[in-house]
Structure 1
Amino acid sequence: MLVEGLPDAKIARRAGVSLSTVRRHSMAIREKLGFEHHFAAGVAAVRRGWIK
């Protein structure tokens, strides 16, 4: 869903988890990859094989 560029609230609804959970995981992924934006982090994660 990061690759789709979805906002955190929409990801939370689709995944059935809280907004704070999405934000925490999203921030961790972006920090590990060194990106500020969801989409760029999602693309980098796909390229590294972390998500399909």
Structure 2
Amino acid sequence: MKFVTLESRGGNYMVVADNVAWLRVGENGQTLVGIIGSQPLLVTGTPDSVAQKLAAT
């Protein structure tokens, strides 16, 4: 299990990379991250930059 830190304007999240189901453009240049079995997280960055962080694990 590999954790990835994703930054948010309200604080940072540590998510398990294998539990990310989808990425979608959010509001104000942010990205919605779909987590299996949970509500989506709103994080900073584009879907491409978030995908790069997830793939680097």
TM bin (shorter chain): 0.3 to 0.5
Larger % of helix: which?
Answer: 1
State the TM-score, normalized to the length of structure 2. 0.34
State the TM-score, normalized to the length of structure 1. 0.36
Larger % of strand: which?
Answer: 2
